[in-house]
Structure formats: C-alpha cells, structure tokens
Amino acid sequence: MNFTEYNELTHRRGKIWIWSAVCLILFVPIAVCVKYNAWPGFLPVFKGLLGVAPIYWTVGIIEIITFTPMLGTGGTYLSFVTGNVTGLKVPAALNAMESAGYKAETEEAEITSTIAIATASIITTIIISLGVLLFVQLSPLLNHPSLKPAFDNIMPSLFGGLGVVYISKNWKIAAAPVLFMIALFIAVPSLASSVGILVPVGILIALGFARLMYKKGVL
C-alpha cells in the first residue's frame, strides 16, 4: 500500500468513526427522552443552542483549519473523535514529531503523529477508567488544596514546554504574536476562555510579520 492509498483508506474509515461518534453522542439524550417520555420541543432546544452552538461551531472550524496540517489525516480523525485536541493530542503529536526529527505534512510525520495520538488516546482511556473505578478512594487526594495549583497550571505547563522549543527555533517570527498575546491577555484577562478563536489571530500576525521581515531582509 502506497501513501496515497493509505490516505484514502484513512479518510474512509475516519468518516465512519466520526459519524459513529456523532450518532453515539446524539443517542444518549434521545434515549433519555424515549425512556422518560420527556421531549423538550424544538423551540427550547433552538433557544439553548442559539447561545452556545455558534461559539462551538466557530472554534471547531478554526481548530480543524489550524490543527489538521500539524496532525495529518489519521491524527486529525483520531483527535476529533477522542477529544481534548488542544490540551493533549496536539502536544503529543508535536512532541513526537519533534523527537523523531520529522517536519509536519511529510509522510513520516503523518505516521508518527497518528501513532502518538493513538497512544495518547489509549493511555487517557486507561487513566480515566482507573479514575472512575477508584473515584471514591482518590477523591480526598485529588481535592487536596496543595494539588490545586498543579491542576490549574496543566495547560500552561504543556504548551510552555512546547513553546520554548518552537520559539527558540524561530524567535524572530514568534516574537510578534507572543508579545501581542501577552499584552492582550494582560489587558483583557477574560479572553483566556477564547484561546481557540485567538489561535488564527496569532497565526495571521506571525505570517504578516514574517513577510514584512522577509521583505526587509531580516529573515
């Protein structure tokens, strides 16, 4: 099987898994409605979705456009079926490709990313399963005040480690978006909940300054 055939097979199976996941997600509320004969009606559902769905649609579209070139075909399908794309799957894929010395959008990176994301998904499932089984026993430990700072800084620690690697390699290009985002979040801390929407903003700033520096002969 060559790489083109591999991609075609991945797309076929990926679409099956994506739509299977959609059906499973929708079947849960439908099953509850059938069981208790409690149908909310179209208007209440529409009103509820009107406030939150556009945000999720926007972030979802942005994440697909932003992350697909990094994750590859197989990695993208796996990530969006298993979830936690930004917090786990992207760091796992980028770290694996960095360790292996492969650049994104190459055949080697595609395979490496897929294996890394699949491994992360399996490990996450095992850990969550153990957490559910041992929830009562682990609750006092996980709720201990001394662990709260660690849980509050999981995302910064993940992306901080990755950021040091990539920023140090391309610090001239990274300087503008990093400084802009630092200033923006200091000025408007509430935007921390809109990171997904601001990702393409950072990309556009990086591209704009990279082009400007290229024309000036800095790059």
What is the model's pTM?
A: 0.65
Q: How confident is the model at residue 196 (pLDDT cuts 50, 70, 90)?
A: low
Domain ranges of the chain: 1-133
Supply the pLDDT for residue 119.
92
pLDDT at 117: 92
Dist. CA 187–CA 161, nearest whole Å: 24
Task: Collapse the DSSP code of 82 into the 3-class scheme (helix H, G, I; strand E, B; otherwise coil) and give the result.
Answer: helix
Name the DSSP class of 189. Answer: G
How many C-beta neighbours within 10 Å does residue 180 have?
16
Question: What local confidence, expressed as pLDDT, does residue 146 receive?
Answer: 82
Q: How far apart are CA 91 and CA 70, in angstroms?
A: 10
CA geometry: angle 99, 89, 180, nearest 5 deg: 85
Report the distance separating Cα 120 and Cα 114, nearest Å.
10
Task: Look up residue 192 and give its two tokens.
Answer: 């921390």
- Tens of pLDDT along 117-134? 999 999 988 988 888 888
Task: Decide if pLDDT at 154 tops 70.
Answer: yes
Sequence-distant (≥ 6) Cβ neighbours of residue 18 within 8 angstroms: 77, 80, 81
Number of CB atoms found within 10 A of residue 93's CB: 28
> For residue range 31-86, what is the model confidence (pLDDT) as tens digits?
998 988 888 888 888 877 776 676 677 777 777 887 888 888 888 999 888 888 87
pLDDT, position 55: 67
How far is 15 from 1, CA to CA, in rounded Å?
20
**Rounded CA gap, 164 and 81, in Å?**
29
